[in-house]
Amino acid sequence: MERVLITGAAGFLGSHLCDKFLNEGFEVIGMDNFLTGSPKNIQHLKQHSGFSFIEHDVTNFIDIDGPLDYILHFASPASPIDYLRIPIQTLKVGSLGVHNVLGLAKAKKARVLIASTSEVYGDPLVHPQTEEYYGNVNPIGPRGVYDEAKRFQEAMTMAYHNFHGISTRIVRIFNTYGPRMRLNDGRVIPAFMGQILRGEDLTVFGDGSQTRSFCYVDDQIEGIFKLLFSDYNLPVNIGNPEEISILDFAKEIIELTNGQSKIVFKDLPVNDPLQRCPDITKAKTILNWSPKVDRQTGMKKTFDYFKSLTQEELYQTNYKNFDNFIKK
């Protein structure tokens, strides 16, 4: 049985990756420090004979007993509300964290897949974004701590690949949604759905003409899995190229959920990307992958998940976790 380490295992994507690899017959070691992840996301795995968990901060040295075949590095704050509140930790997990992960991969002779992001393209001047586009990023802007952490991750990963011969993969993840997202993490889908469930108006920033494209989590996980087992070591976009404006999306959410909310407009945040859409030609040709779940189906599944949350969960934030971690 092959062994895989998944950092950020209690996060949204990390927990779904744990499910995927266990279902495929792997032994899975999950690792998380619960800064932004939740024990609830992996509670169902505690009794699984193929799953073990280590509570650990990957910015500290990582030591795993026994052999490792694969490592997937998904530990990182991943939403604006996270990395604006914990900027230093965001930078550290993208620098010290990836260094520790790559060092472990070198020691174990393991293949490593690094989770990068569409944010490496910044506010793009090319549309849709191909992997060859270098990006339009403000390194000292409010989003710079996340953007530059991920750009550094990619550079460090390629350095280990080229200098040490490590088998590496890099996935550039575009907006992904589905069950186990944190409701109050500041991203547009949980933000809109949380506002609907709390009976609040939907907040649209700017005039709502900025665009996003949304990939359902099952599709994203399948793309990541295929990339890991491909022979391609350069970055690959994984996302859904079906684009929609934020204003149209807000209207779609109200209709889908039979909500009574109105739409209110607020100022656009600094450096908020005006367009975000992946060119997935590489994923199609190299991985034989493309998204399968249409937005209406995926949104219904996601809304049903959020409807199942308790009243306390509808209103809670992760600020306490942040504050307790920073005091350690």
- Summarize pLDDT for 235-278 with one digit per residue, the tens: 999 999 999 999 999 999 999 999 888 999 998 877 677 888 99
Whether pLDDT at 97 is above 90: yes
Q: How is 292-321 classified by DSSP, letter by letter?
A: -S-HHHHHHHHHHHHHTS-HHHHH--SHHH
Amino acid 249: pLDDT = 95
The mean pLDDT of 135-163, rounded to a whole number, is: 95
How far is the CA of 328 from the CAs of 49, 81, 325, in angstroms? 32, 21, 5
Whether pLDDT at 16 is above 90: yes
Q: Whose CA is closest to 40, among 288, 312, 323?
A: 312
Whether pLDDT at 141 is above 60: yes
Whether pLDDT at 96 is above 70: yes
Whether pLDDT at 304 is above 60: yes
* Separation of alpha carbons 252 and 258, rounded Å: 10
To the nearest whole number, what is the mean pLDDT of the chain?
93
Antiparallel, parallel or unpaired: β 70-73 and 3-7: parallel
Domain with residue 168: its CATH number is: 3.40.50.720
pTM: 0.94
* Separation of alpha carbons 147 and 125, rounded Å: 16
Active site residues: 146
Amino acid 146: pLDDT = 95
Q: Residue 311: which domain range?
A: 3-327
Residue 320 pLDDT level (bands cut at 50, 70, 90): low
Amino acid 136: pLDDT = 93
Q: Which has more confidence, 180 or 271?
A: 180
- Summarised one tens digit per residue, pLDDT across range 28-80 is 999 999 999 999 999 999 999 999 999 999 999 999 999 999 999 999 998 88
* Separation of alpha carbons 114 and 135, rounded Å: 19
Amino acid 317: pLDDT = 66
Residue 314 pLDDT level (bands cut at 50, 70, 90): confident
Amino acid 325: pLDDT = 67
Amino acid 184: pLDDT = 82
Mention every residue, 6+ apart, whose C-beta is less than 8 A from residue 155: none
Residue 145 contacts residue 87 (beta carbons within 8 Å): yes
Whether pLDDT at 170 is above 70: yes
Residue 313 pLDDT level (bands cut at 50, 70, 90): confident
Residue 132 pLDDT level (bands cut at 50, 70, 90): very high
How far is the CA of 49 from the CAs of 13, 37, 44, 52, in angstroms? 21, 22, 12, 8
How many domains would you assign to the chain?
1
